Amino acid sequence: MTPRRLTTPDLVLATHNPGKVREIADLMRPFAVAVTAAGDLGLPEPDETADSFVGNAELKALASATASGRVSLADDSGLVVPALGGAPGIYSARWAGPAKDFAAAMARVNAELGSGDRRAYFVCALSLAWPDGHAETVEGRAWGTLVWPARGTRGFGYDPMFLPDGHPLTYGEMDPDEKHAISHRADAFRQLVARCFAP
């Protein structure tokens, strides 16, 4: 089936996470598409009940598109550690608890890993949904190694402990442009652009 192209000059970002809003807004800027965060519209956050990143991204995008009547873009992302059986995975945010304490979440990952294999990857599923229920969804990945202690104060989430392959700095130490060029979100966004934005 032919992918659906984005033809509207604006969309809703189906997230209440300010870090994701900043990153996705930066990625959208070259396409002259205005973005509004779901939180700014007072849209509720749906329960993430799917069992995959793709499923949760689609769930959030469709909920936002239905509630707002506008094309919506949702992200579901997290850290996958094979040595922990794929955890924290789709529960990455929940490991940080209600207070969103990612310092504690990173410490938990490090403690559970111990001397185990520290290879890991970030996943980002992006779903672009229309109010009629149609969705286009892609998934990007970025591999790296988990370091301890965590390094850097930039980025968000697990960024300070993730050292991407081939780079000397963690995501938490990189300037935003450098991270945007290589991240899991950038990988997914390139796929989405090719599918829905390219002429």
Residue among 51, 75, 76, 101 flagged as catalytic:
76
CA–CA separation, 195 and 2 (whole Å):
9
Question: Could you give the residue ranges of the DSSP H alpha helices within 29-157?
Answer: 53-68, 102-113
Residue 72's Cβ-side half-sphere holds a number of Cα atoms within 13 Å equal to 28
DSSP state of 168: S
| Backbone φ and ψ of 22, nearest 5° | -60, -50
AA letter at 181: A
CA–CA separation, 9 and 149 (whole Å):
43
CA–CA separation, 53 and 93 (whole Å):
12
Q: Is 76 a catalytic residue?
A: yes
Residue showing tokens 């969103």: 100
Residues annotated as catalytic (active site), given as ranges? 76
